[in-house]
């Protein structure tokens, strides 16, 4: 369909039929009128930064160069470079079989700093804005994941939905002295992924009104690592002092951001100290030099000392993403240095986000915190971390085999899988007291998500009352996946976005039997998000019950045929 000329579109307030053309401060962008299919207009692959390649690798993101002719933004742009996982983009930036064939390989591109915008197909203006930050442990994930398509949420919530890629892993957070200029606090922080997220927020602030959004009403919606990143943003000195204000509400799904010393003993922290990232950066440099035959374990210190920071920085920037990811996977991860978190440097990320909250040095906005009942059923491999947790992985199958089983599972077919085909016999029967699958993963949750959650809530409730809390408890998957996953981490995402089509977990979530309750629950959850984005309060008639502020808990659940919401 031919687009309306930009001058004609502008003359009608930017709202026309056919393709959708909008102004940004960098130039016009030409999106898609998807009224007939999704009831939205969308713009996909909008650049919000220059490609962070070459000399701009490990550099604070720069605004994109302006363009003159309208820029077609109708398809998703590249995913950020990452090691392939079942939550990643595969070889084609979408859900397909290549996800399984590219595990642990470099996928995506360094040229990945693009965002996507959906809005209802109407002439409405000043709509609330929802900015989504995807999860993936800050090492994997991509906005083109079908679960994250923003059309259904934009339509249901009557909001403008924005998602944005950000740099991941050692390309997104990297702390090495040889890369520091000494004159640029932001670039020297190593928090490139956080800076990408801040630049996306600035793009929203400066441009979203032209897409019908209200830059004075922006809700950050982060899940998992995205929720951790949202906490980092709310406590970032850059965001706290930003004018105009960049964030006005926040929804934190399954996140927290505490250091080990801020948690009970033996807890698993979601934030590592700056010293960890320094060890990680040095380990990657050493591994690359040794792999290239430029030094040995015995000579590495001398080799590094004999070269300037500029020389070593140039060397690192000459390495391909595949070379770096290989060393991360084979050398750093086995040494316990494969984890990526924001770097608490004090200038971009607070030295301690929890301490910043306790001191009132954060952006105090209405908050909605959400957790799933069975968070750790997505992390069953963690049971192998300690004999006290069982000492062996929870599942018998690895990522590739699990992905294949899920891709080929059909709920309406004659059952061929049983719990014993998937769950390690060490944890069977699953309901055995103390040592069964459910009990072991409950204990893991008590060491992992719950202490981080409790530390965050304790800090926040000292400073504000406008906090709402909910638990996602839906576990009506077809057997045996209802036991394997239950209300697992990330299983609330299809409900939040209203997307149950083809994606990594869709076959094991959806069945004809659970459709009625599943869709009703999703509609209620999207209604609550829309209300919160509009008003800073998630209460909506669609819930059917009043949702009080914390410490009350709203439980989102459903029977096979209808939603089931309750307050405790």
Question: pLDDT tens digits for 258-285?
Answer: 999 999 999 999 999 999 999 999 999 9
Mean pLDDT of 219-242: 98
Q: What 3-state DSSP class applies to 212?
A: coil
Q: Which of 109, 137, 205, 224 is catalytic?
A: 224
User: Residue 83's closest CA among 329, 292, 274, 267?
Assistant: 329
Cα angle value 534/146/53 (rounded, 5°)? 95
- Please give the Cα distance from 421 to 396 (Å, whole number): 7
Mean pLDDT, all residues of the chain: 96
Mean pLDDT of 542-568: 98
User: What number of CA atoms fall less than 13 Å from residue 508's CA on the CB side?
Assistant: 22
Q: Which pLDDT score is estimated for 7? A: 41
Does 8 have pLDDT greater than 90? no
Does 245 have pLDDT greater than 80? yes
Categorize the per-residue pLDDT at 14 as very low, low, confident or very high, splitting at 50, 70 and 90.
Answer: very low
Q: Which residues of 485-496 are buried (b: 16+ CB within 10 A; e: fewer)?
A: bbbbbbbbbbbb
Cα angle value 430/432/435 (rounded, 5°)? 90
Categorize the per-residue pLDDT at 356 as very low, low, confident or very high, splitting at 50, 70 and 90.
Answer: very high
Assigned fold of 1-365: Rossmann fold (3.40.50)
Residues of the chain with CATH 3.40.50.1820: 1-365
Q: Which pLDDT score is estimated for 18? A: 65
Q: Which pLDDT score is estimated for 173? A: 98
Does 12 have pLDDT greater than 70? no
Does 80 have pLDDT greater than 70? yes
**Structure token digits, residue 319:** 């390495």
Pairing type for strands 467-472 and 367-372 reads: parallel
User: Residue 236's closest CA among 199, 267, 289?
Assistant: 199
Does 4 have pLDDT greater than 80? no
Distances in Å between the Cα of 214 and the Cα atoms of 32, 37, 46, 158, 219 are: 21, 25, 18, 12, 11
Does 71 have pLDDT greater than 60? yes
Q: Which residues of 119-157 are buried (b: 16+ CB within 10 A; e: fewer)?
A: bbbeeeeebbbbbbbbbbbbbbbbbbbbbbbbbbbbbbb
Q: pLDDT, tens digit, for every residue of 499-551? A: 999 999 999 999 999 999 999 999 999 999 999 999 999 999 999 999 999 99
Among residues of the chain, what percentage have pLDDT more than 90? 96
213 by Cβ neighbours in 10 Å (0-12 / 13-18 / 19+) ranks as: buried
Q: Which pLDDT score is estimated for 84? A: 97
Residue 380, H or E segment? none
Q: pLDDT, tens digit, for every residue of 289-306? A: 999 999 999 999 999 999
Does 491 have pLDDT greater than 60? yes
Based on the residue annotation, tell me whether 205 is a catalytic residue of this protein.
no
Whether the CB-CB separation of 191 and 342 falls below 8 Å is answered with: yes
Q: Which pLDDT score is estimated for 9? A: 41
Q: Which pLDDT score is estimated for 183? A: 87
Q: Which residues contact 65 (CB under 8 A, 6 or more apart)?
A: 26, 50
User: Residue 520's closest CA among 495, 488, 554, 490?
Assistant: 495
């Amino acid at each position: 369909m031919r687009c309306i000329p930009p001058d004609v579109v502008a003359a009608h307030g930017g709202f026309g039929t056919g393709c959708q053309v909008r102004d940004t401060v960098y130039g016009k962008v030409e999106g898609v009128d998807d009224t007939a299919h999704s009831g939205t207009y969308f713009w996909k692959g909008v650049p919000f930064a220059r490609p962070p390649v070459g000399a701009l690798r490990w550099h604070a993101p720069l605004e994109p160069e302006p363009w003159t002719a309208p820029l077609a933004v109708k398809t998703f742009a590249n995913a950020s470079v990452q090691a392939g996982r079942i939550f990643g983009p595969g070889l084609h930036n979408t859900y397909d079989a290549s996800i399984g064939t590219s595990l642990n390989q470099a996928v995506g591109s360094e040229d990945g700093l693009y965002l996507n915008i959906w809005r209802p197909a109407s002439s409405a203006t000043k709509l609330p804005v929802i900015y989504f930050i995807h999860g993936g442990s800050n090492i994997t994930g991509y906005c083109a994941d079908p679960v994250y398509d923003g059309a259904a949420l934009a339509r249901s919530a009557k909001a403008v939905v924005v998602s944005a890629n950000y740099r991941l892993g050692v390309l997104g957070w990297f702390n090495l002295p040889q890369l520091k200029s000494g004159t640029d606090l932001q670039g020297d922080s190593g928090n490139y992924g956080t800076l990408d997220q801040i630049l996306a927020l600035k793009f929203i602030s400066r441009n979203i009104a032209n897409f019908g959004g209200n830059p004075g009403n922006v809700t950050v919606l982060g899940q998992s690592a995205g929720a951790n990143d949202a906490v980092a943003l709310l406590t970032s000195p850059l965001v706290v002092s930003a004018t105009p204000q960049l964030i006005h509400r926040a929804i934190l799904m399954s996140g927290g951001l505490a250091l080990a010393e801020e948690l009970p003993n033996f807890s698993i922290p979601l934030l590592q100290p700056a010293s960890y990232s320094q060890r990680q950066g040095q380990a990657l440099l050493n591994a690359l030099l040794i792999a290239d035959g430029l030094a040995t374990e015995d000579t590495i210190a001398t080799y590094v000392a004999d070269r300037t920071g500029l020389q070593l920085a140039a060397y690192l920037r000459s390495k391909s993403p595949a070379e770096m990811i290989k060393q991360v996977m084979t050398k750093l991860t086995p040494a316990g240095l494969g984890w990526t978190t924001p770097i608490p440097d004090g200038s971009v990320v607070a030295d301690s986000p929890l301490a910043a909250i306790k001191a009132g040095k954060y952006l105090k906005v209405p908050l909605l915190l959400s957790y799933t009942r069975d968070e750790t059923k997505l992390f069953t491999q963690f049971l192998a971390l300690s004999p006290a947790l069982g000492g062996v992985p929870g599942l018998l199958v690895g990522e590739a085999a699990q992905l294949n089983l899920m891709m080929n599972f059909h709920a309406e077919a004659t059952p061929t899988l049983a719990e014993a085909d998937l769950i390690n016999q060490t944890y069977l029967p699953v309901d055995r007291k103390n040592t069964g699958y459910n009990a072991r993963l409950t204990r893991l949750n008590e060491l992992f998500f719950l202490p981080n959650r409790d530390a965050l809530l304790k800090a926040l409730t000292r400073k504000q009352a406008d906090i709402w809390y909910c638990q996602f408890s839906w576990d009506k998957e077809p057997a045996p996946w209802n036991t394997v996953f239950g209300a697992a981490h990330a299983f609330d995402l299809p409900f939040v976005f209203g997307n149950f089509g083809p994606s990594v977990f869709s076959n094991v979530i959806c069945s004809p039997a659970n459709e009625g309750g599943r869709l009703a629950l999703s509609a209620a959850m999207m209604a609550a998000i829309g209300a919160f984005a509009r008003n800073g309060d998630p209460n909506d008639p669609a819930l059917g019950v009043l949702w009080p502020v914390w410490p009350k808990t709203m439980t989102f659940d459903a029977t096979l045929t209808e939603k089931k919401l309750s307050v405790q």
